[in-house]
Structure 1
Amino acid sequence: MMPMRRLILCLASLSTAYAAYTFPPRVVRNTGVPTGQLKNISGIQTYLSYPPNYTTSTKAILHITDIFGLPLLENKLLADSLAANDYLVLMPDLFAGDAISVEQQEAGLNLTSWFARHPPSEIDRVVKMIIGYMRGELGVERVGGVGYCFGGKYVPRFLTGGGIDVGFIAHPSGLTEGEVGGIGGPVSVAAGTLDASFNSTAKSRAESILNSNNVTFQSNLYYGAPHGFGVRVNQSVPQQVYAKQASFLQAVTWFDAWL
């Protein structure tokens, strides 16, 4: 019979191996408890998710969220999933505690006044401040930016020599051709066939602009993927589950190559 101590050690090893298998770095988390920490950076509540075994890095990712912002569990888990791939991740509260809840959105809340409270100038201010903190106090040398939905407009605005070196955007909303035309750094784009905010026509037009400007880019179009698929999906719909996982892998692979 195996001694009790050896049995316990074997079970512990199996448990550790199982955990590693269940949550490998290149699989995006959809459930569970967030592992990052909140920190006040010059008045901006910011979620920091650290790479395994260390708290500093010369490469880091700025996560510019959708309208659901910091309170959304999936946003925190997405930041944690990126961090698990050896990237320090910072996700600021873009809206000063005024993020939209899923319940408000599903109830059909009129967003006109909300957008008026959070104009591009204010979002730009927050992003600039966090980038400054990353490059200054944290000593980050290369900054990657991920932008989902609302945030997909702002990563391109800072890929113009404004602080982000490499970008990834998924199902952007409000992104203009002028902002696409200003992109100067490598960018990867994830779009969905069911996304009215950034449809296949908008994707093709963006590709044409990037190609004309000789920008390093890559793009994927995911079948059956609605707006928001990179963050929130219906886990019972295989096409949506695939689109979220594949777009996450798209982002990680892009940063591994260019950041």
Structure 2
Amino acid sequence: MTMTLIRLLTVALVGVASVLAKKPASSCPAVSNEGTPTGEFKNVSGIQIYHSYPGETANASNAILFISDIYGVPLLQNKLLADSLARAGYLVIFPDLFKGDAVPVSSPEGTLNLTEWRTRHPTEEIDSIVASTITYIRSELGVQRIGGVGYCFGGKYVPRFLADGKGIDVGFIAHPSGLLATEIQSIAGPISIAAGELDTAFNVTGRRAAEDILTAKNTTYQTTLYAGAPHGFAVRVDLNIPRQKYAKESSFVQAIRWFDAWL
């Protein structure tokens, strides 16, 4: 058995043991696919931020920063996903990255030409919103450790802020788009990745490159590949297709277990 395989097995066993010690798997809530959002919006320094609150027994010293896909805060499934994370015991903070200019929910992602839209929301502007939200979480909410979840578009920004000193301590990303090797290389904290077999934005080449980089860095990481899962599966799926339904539900549990173990 190679030393790399021994290391990966050790990391996995330590993670499982930590999760079992902190929270039984049966206590993890199910992800909501329909219903009415329970969080609330607050204007924080000109940014609309969706706050989803956990129960009274939650650990007030940590929180999850939700970095969304291109459909942003208007998408019902995004708000329900934030609420689901909150039911698992985490304060969830979900900023409007696009200042009211999210891609319309009625626009299928696979048919979009996003070139012009992206020019209105460059990386440096998104970085600024994420950074100011992290400052708000730490300074005004008194949070000590921050977990970051990133879906599609947001899957690029969790690694950027999981770099040393950037503000996110533990990360989970699903079907990231636009994620660069240099951004993976800069990751300094534990990272969990949910990938879809049918996702062309984070394909087999991208997945293997990410794993090679993380392995070489001796990073604490997890990658899970879901069969039959398309891009966007952790947020928006056809619930009538068993593989897609399973991928969404299981990737949610993957995120919760990761934060329970490392956050």
Query: What's the TM-score once normalised by structure 2's chain length?
Result: 0.87
Match of 2:100 in 1: 97
AA aligned opposite 2:185: G
C-alpha displacement at 1:103, in angstroms? 1.6
The structure-2 alpha-carbon separation of the partners of 1:97 and 1:192, relative to structure 1 and needing over 3 Å to count, comes to same
Match of 2:203 in 1: 199
SS at 1:102's partner residue?
coil
Match of 1:223 in 2: 227
- Cα distance in 2 for partners of 1:207, 1:104 equals 32
- Cα distance in 2 for partners of 1:229, 1:109 equals 17
- Cα distance in 2 for partners of 1:254, 1:74 equals 21
AA aligned opposite 1:131: I
Match of 1:87 in 2: 90
AA aligned opposite 2:107: Q
Please tell me whether the aligned partners of residues 200 and 221 of structure 1 are also in contact (alpha carbons under 8 angstroms): no
- Cα distance in 2 for partners of 1:129, 1:245 equals 31
AA aligned opposite 2:115: T
After superposition, residues 65-84 of structure 1 pair within 5 angstroms as 65-84=68-87
SS at 1:61's partner residue?
strand
AA aligned opposite 2:256: V
- Cα distance in 2 for partners of 1:125, 1:95 equals 12
Confirm or deny that 1:151 pairs with 2:154. yes
C-alpha displacement at 1:228, in angstroms? 0.1
Confirm or deny that 1:189 pairs with 2:193. yes
Aligned partner of 1:126 among 119, 124, 129: 129
AA aligned opposite 1:236: N
Confirm or deny that 1:139 pairs with 2:142. yes
C-alpha displacement at 1:107, in angstroms? 8.9
C-alpha displacement at 1:102, in angstroms? 2.6
Match of 1:51 in 2: 54
Please tell me whether the aligned partners of residues 77 and 235 of structure 2 are also in contact (alpha carbons under 8 angstroms): yes
C-alpha displacement at 1:233, in angstroms? 0.3
After superposition, residues 8-19 of structure 1 pair within 5 angstroms as none
CA RMSD of aligned residues (A): 1.4
AA aligned opposite 1:204: R
Unpaired runs of at least 5, structure 1: 1-23
Name the structure, 1 or 2, with higher relative contact order (CA <8 Å, separation 6+): 2
SS at 2:250's partner residue?
helix
Unpaired runs of at least 5, structure 2: 1-26
After superposition, residues 24-39 of structure 1 pair within 5 angstroms as 25-39=28-42
C-alpha displacement at 1:109, in angstroms? 3.7
Match of 2:255 in 1: 251
Aligned residues: 236
Please tell me whether the aligned partners of residues 28 and 256 of structure 2 are also in contact (alpha carbons under 8 angstroms): no
Match of 2:217 in 1: 213
C-alpha displacement at 1:108, in angstroms? 3.2
- Cα distance in 2 for partners of 1:35, 1:194 equals 32
Query: What's the TM-score once normalised by structure 1's chain length?
Result: 0.88
Aligned partner of 2:242 among 220, 238, 242: 238
